[in-house]
Amino acid sequence: MYNIKVEANFSSAHNLRGYHGKCEDLHGHNWKVEVSVSKRVLDKSGMVMDFKDLKLSLNKILDELDHCYLNKITYFKKVNPTSENIAEYIYKRLKKRIKNISSVTVWENDTSCATYYEP
């Protein structure tokens, strides 16, 4: 099995609904996003896929999240914008464009992250 990973960043604000603590108030993060793609067999070029294509697809999604208030995005009006839900959102959006996505990890700071994957 082969696996590749790319990283990208975006900055945004959010607040958590139904949470009692500091995160219920408006605050922001400089998020780091890691995307992994896996395949059993490499393509004819000897790659899982071109890093450039994966980064381009990821950045299109992150551009929509960058420098915005996540709670105002239609999806997050109903779904709490936790790191877990942001990872799932990015995963499902990417899955429409790229086969073999294995996971999306969203870091909200240097020591805390959430990963979404489907078995």
- The mean pLDDT of 18-32, rounded to a whole number, is 95
Task: Locate 55 and state its tokens.
Answer: 């980064």
Catalytic: 27? no
Domain boundaries, the chain: 2-116
Catalytic: 67? yes
Task: Locate 89 and state its tokens.
Answer: 């959102």
Number of CB atoms found within 10 A of residue 37's CB: 21
Q: What is the 3-state secondary structure (H, E, C) of 16-58?
A: CCCCCCHHHCCEEEEEEEEEEEEECCCCCCCCCCCHHHHHHHH
Single out the catalytic residue among 7, 24, 67, 118.
67
Alpha carbon distance 52, 16 (integer Å): 34
Single out the catalytic residue among 23, 27, 64, 118.
23
Catalytic: 14? no
pLDDT in tens, 47-76: 999 999 999 999 999 999 999 999 999 999
pTM of structure: 0.96
- The dotted CATH code for 2-116 is 3.30.479.10
